[in-house]
Structure 1
């Protein structure tokens, strides 16, 4: 789908100047020497995006750079994901990034604009990948200089944006074997560059999809009593079911059902004999998420029952909620403060968006943080999943600093 990914000319990313300075000073020196190379990598990935399950060239680029640093990366069986351990010992801390892009056109007027029609990195995964690559290369140098106190596993995951998430595939391939805790970051255009957002507890919502198909006798709108009146029945479903959920679920669970599609008929004077509605269920509480399919399905059936329509419900599981572990969040908050300064660590807001990092947290403790990518002072917020989305590239350096400190702090922590 894309041309082969190769690093821009300018040298290896692996040079790390040995220094007796504390870690922040060492990272500052390394990023001062190699930060431009990392930005070039990000721009190259941005210009050559790959959709979910097709991240072969991006994975190959990551593996080549890790190999050049003396590491031994391993591909997923299909070759579109990478894992790599750094260091020695039984204690393992994992760091995860996602590789895939979105099926959106890139409308930005920039030199690194996507070269693939209708595909772009509109969610910042190119930044996530570049940050984790930089973290891996820096950790490899620290390990060579004296050890990092255990093992850090880099997880470059495919298909975060897909309903058929790549996270379970990584887990099946052994990504969490022996891992004590896992961390990740996500671009946050709402935060100015230089800030990171940390939060304990609910972080992002579970996201499922429900499709309701109704059928029944159609007919003339002058004689609705002789029909099942599917338009009326669909109207009841999309208005009453969300309202009923608000009375059947603890409001602290943050459960919502919002319909984004409703289709039925064409003519204004004819009642159709079939129609459908699709919506998303989002919820912040694990227990409420587990109970949602049965509850939502039953409420839909109850609402439709009195209309005379036949109903077929397709409830599709998406991702669980991201629930940040309390101790894991404390570790990353402290590490971010050490890396950037305590004044640059803020409380992250809860998002009702979905994130498949949640699958890892179903198995082990961990935390996701937000990496500020907004341009300070700008009145325009380029939100994720928009065709014009872009980042302040200084965020890459802040991300590398934060995640290197996090990995080392987690290895040393007795909390896991």
Structure 2
């Protein structure tokens, strides 16, 4: 009998830890830290917390807690400590010396997850810039063997045996400059694609929300419901894990009445997202900034969904997305006890992305928002105005078309700008 070979990398055993800052959401952020660690192929074997207003300047934890951590790690045969805040270079250095552990702060952990998930050139460049900016102030001569690349699932973008001493600040700055230059070209290409979509005249809807809330599932189910012929080809990647994808996907959704809109699935958020990443991913999130409607997808089955909503709202604000109407879509209602769905409550929807009736309700809400100012009209386009007909066919939803002796008669859905533009061809308004 052939031997089964397990190709899965061995999980790295870690202890997670943090200072409470005496904040109400500390337990939530620690639970989130554990999920982030698992997303980076780590096994959380224990956690240590210290309840105080602010961390110690030199070692983050108090002296007694540092000793406790070192003894606990020794007893559990753990070599890595994951901390719930971003630490200064000196705090990391001091903690490593006093505990004998490899210290990974929250920012480094998130950066490593992003580095592992990035697929496109743009996402990879954005993540590398953020990682280099994080590493720049942490370059210092050190013979500490803890600077070595760790085994297991994470931190896999450093060279084997590479130390902090070998990272030269001048080289890092040069690499950042090169990446930013390359990114400008990629961003111009993405902007050109957005401009083309703008010219289509189709309204734009963007899914935003906490990572793993169900945005990709929602997009895929909308595609499966309203674009059954090509749905499989257009499906976006979905998986029950944090940051399953970092790349914005844009798809055209055509409703049964032939009205169309563009739907984008953006990168998920997480609390205390590193500011370098927020800055780097502004271009990726430009789809949300240009949207006519936002749909905030919320994991309604998670007891901390209020905190997740606050994180999303803050991050949306941080990237400069303001004054855009929003539907709050409370997903995973099927996993929440005693919850009726689908149910519309004002601009909120309680639903399950896996429930066909829920997807229909969501489509109704989207239609009500984005087509409120649209006009369904009949136009008569003379044969001499073939250019106008070509523009309508390229940039609007034509519901009916008929050829008469004097021209082409079309029933078409027009946005407010085009409605005013084509008044001269108007036969009658069906609204």
What is the TM-score of this pair, normalised by structure 2? 0.21
Q: Tell me which of the two structures has the higher relative contact order, counting C-alpha pairs closer than 8 angstroms and 6 or more residues apart.
A: 1
TM-score (norm. length: structure 1) = 0.22
Q: If you compute each CA radius of gyration, which structure gives the higher value, 1 or 2?
A: 2
